[in-house]
Amino acid sequence: MRAEVPLVSEREAIDFRSIDNFRAPSGDFERVSVTVPIRRHTYALRAPGDSMVSATGDSFPAGSLLVVEPELEAQPGDYVIAHTPGGEITFKQLVRDGAELQLRPLNPRYPQKPLGDSVVIGVVRELTKRFR
The ranges assigned to domains in the chain are 3-128
Alpha helices in the chain (DSSP H): 10-14
Give percent of the chain with pLDDT exceeding 90: 73
Angle at 80 between CA 74 and CA 81, to 5 degrees: 120
Amino acid (one-letter) located at 132: R
Query: Over 80: is that where the pLDDT of 26 sits?
Result: no
**CA atoms of 116 and 103, how far apart (whole Å):** 9
Quote the CA–CA distance of 119 and 92 in Å, as a whole number: 12
Confirm whether pTM is higher than 0.95.
no
| Extended strands (E) in the chain | 3-8, 30-34, 43-46, 65-69, 79-83, 89-97, 100-104, 113-114, 119-128
Share of the chain above pLDDT 70, in %: 94
CATH topology of domain 3-128: Umud Fragment, subunit A (2.10.109)
**Pairing mode, if any, of strands 3-8 and 43-46?**
parallel
> Quick count: other Cβ atoms within 10 Å of Cβ 128?
14
- Residue 60: what pLDDT? 94
